[in-house]
């Protein structure tokens, strides 16, 4: 059986920076309130009139990743695209990437696992490579949140959290079983699906019915029971980390870098304290980007690598928790 290794990384975010002070002009909030609860200082939002979408941002990140992998577009065998904010209800963004990058008529799938999307996407790609089906897979996480948020005081509990952006990696076959992805671990608990959800539009509550409500139906805005999600997140993050380490006969002392999904800086800090990780053993960038959902881990991984914080032979754990509930981890020997 083969192993899979990340050979190229890239990310893209819009130039338009929205600070907490900018949000205070849209809703009853302030910089101190947002930072105290989330750690977020600013986020990037696609400006009005821009051509950026989840697919186009994903394509921009993917081009960088392919170039850094030393490959051409014709070397890519498959596409896995993670997002909760696709350009269309259907088809998915994966096929748009095939067209935008002028790739051969290779397969493409979309992963709809929200904040855990990139972990699920990486795990899916890993299986295709381990079985020998594909050699080089493009894995993308991309989100266009800003156009779907309630930017009023009513929606501030969610609206302040999210940013736009995309990240991508090329996952390639290697016969060195000591390097690359060592294991992945995926979980779900659908009984809590309604704790973090966008209810509509859905087939049972389609657009004409929402329009007919004359503004009373706002189920197209994200809903989150923040306290409930936070309490579950810190537990599942911890479980996912330990599951990955234990499966590979490793301990926290072996860990060189932990990159969590960037949901809330307070969650990351809780996990850091629990496992007694040094500041150089965990990478957070939610302060500058907000929660970019399926894009958050791959943006953070790319940025950490660009800054030289990830070195050859480092042990890296990626972990995510989010809507579904879904959660999981990936253990990598760089």
The predicted pLDDT at position 259 comes to: 98
Measured distance CA(3)–CA(226) in Å, rounded: 38
Same domain assignment for residues 328 and 190: yes
Q: How many CB atoms lie within 10 A of CB 286?
A: 26
Average pLDDT of the segment spanning 316-322: 97
The predicted pLDDT at position 327 comes to: 98
pLDDT (tens digit per residue) in 122-176? 999 999 999 999 999 999 999 999 999 999 999 999 999 999 999 999 999 999 9
Same domain assignment for residues 236 and 187: yes
Same domain assignment for residues 150 and 288: no
The predicted pLDDT at position 31 comes to: 97
The predicted pLDDT at position 232 comes to: 96
Same domain assignment for residues 192 and 69: no
The predicted pLDDT at position 244 comes to: 98
- Over 90: is that where the pLDDT of 1 sits? no
- Over 90: is that where the pLDDT of 333 sits? yes
Same domain assignment for residues 147 and 200: no
Measured distance CA(282)–CA(318) in Å, rounded: 10
Same domain assignment for residues 89 and 216: no
We report the CATH number of the domain holding residue 200 as 3.40.47.10
The predicted pLDDT at position 245 comes to: 98
Domain assignment of residue 169, given as a range: 3-176
- Over 90: is that where the pLDDT of 321 sits? yes
Average pLDDT of the residues of the chain = 97
Same domain assignment for residues 77 and 211: no
How many domains in the chain? 2
Last residue of a domain, one of 152, 176, 200: 176
Same domain assignment for residues 281 and 137: no
pLDDT (tens digit per residue) in 18-48? 999 999 999 999 999 999 999 999 999 999 9
Contact 65, 168 (CB under 8 A): yes
Same domain assignment for residues 297 and 164: no
Measured distance CA(9)–CA(57) in Å, rounded: 14
Whether the pTM exceeds 0.85: the reply is yes
pLDDT (tens digit per residue) in 253-275? 999 999 999 999 999 999 999 99
Same domain assignment for residues 8 and 102: yes
Which long-range contacts (C-beta less than 8 Å, at least 24 apart) are formed by 264-267? 264/37, 264/38, 264/39, 264/161, 264/230, 264/233, 264/291, 265/38, 265/39, 265/40, 266/37, 266/38, 266/39, 266/230, 267/230, 267/233, 267/234, 267/237
Last residue of a domain, one of 147, 176, 205: 176
Same domain assignment for residues 64 and 170: yes
The predicted pLDDT at position 177 comes to: 87
Same domain assignment for residues 185 and 154: no
Last residue of a domain, one of 176, 211, 239: 176
pLDDT (tens digit per residue) in 188-243? 999 999 999 999 999 999 999 989 999 899 999 999 999 999 999 999 999 999 99
Catalytic residues, which ones?
115, 261, 291
């Amino acid at each position: 059986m083969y192993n899979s290794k990340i050979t190229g990384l890239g990310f893209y975010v819009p130039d338009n920076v929205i600070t907490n002070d900018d949000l205070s002009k849209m809703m009853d909030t302030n910089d101190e309130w947002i930072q105290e609860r989330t750690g977020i200082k600013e986020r990037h939002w696609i400006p009005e009139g821009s051509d950026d979408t989840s697919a186009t941002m994903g394509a921009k990140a993917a081009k960088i990743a392919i170039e850094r992998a030393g490959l051409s577009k014709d070397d890519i065998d498959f596409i896995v695209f993670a997002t909760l904010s696709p350009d269309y209800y259907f088809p998915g963004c994966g096929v748009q990437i095939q067209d935008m990058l002028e790739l051969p008529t290779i397969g493409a799938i979309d992963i709809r696992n929200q904040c855990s999307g990139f972990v699920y996407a990486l795990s899916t790609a890993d299986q295709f490579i381990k079985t020998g089906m594909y050699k080089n897979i493009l894995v993308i996480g991309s989100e266009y949140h800003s156009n779907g948020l309630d930017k009023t005081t009513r929606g501030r509990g969610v609206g302040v959290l999210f940013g736009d952006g995309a990240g991508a990696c090329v996952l390639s076959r290697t016969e060195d079983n000591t390097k690359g992805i060592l294991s992945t671990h995926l979980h779900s608990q659908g009984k809590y699906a309604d704790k973090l959800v966008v209810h509509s539009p859905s087939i049972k509550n389609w657009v004409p019915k929402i329009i007919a409500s004359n503004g009373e139906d706002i189920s197209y805005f994200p809903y989150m029971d923040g306290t409930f999600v936070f309490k579950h997140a810190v537990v599942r993050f911890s479980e996912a980390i330990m599951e990955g380490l234990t499966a590979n006969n490793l301990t926290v002392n072996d860990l060189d870098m932990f990159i969590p999904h960037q949901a809330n800086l307070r969650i990351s800090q809780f996990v850091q304290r629990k496992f007694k990780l040094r500041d150089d053993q965990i990478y957070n960038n939610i302060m500058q980007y907000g929660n970019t959902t399926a894009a958050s881990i791959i943006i953070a991984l790319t940025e950490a690598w660009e800054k030289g914080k990830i070195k050859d032979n480092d042990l890296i754990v990626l972990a995510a928790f989010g809507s579904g509930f879904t959660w999981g981890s990936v253990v990598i020997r760089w």
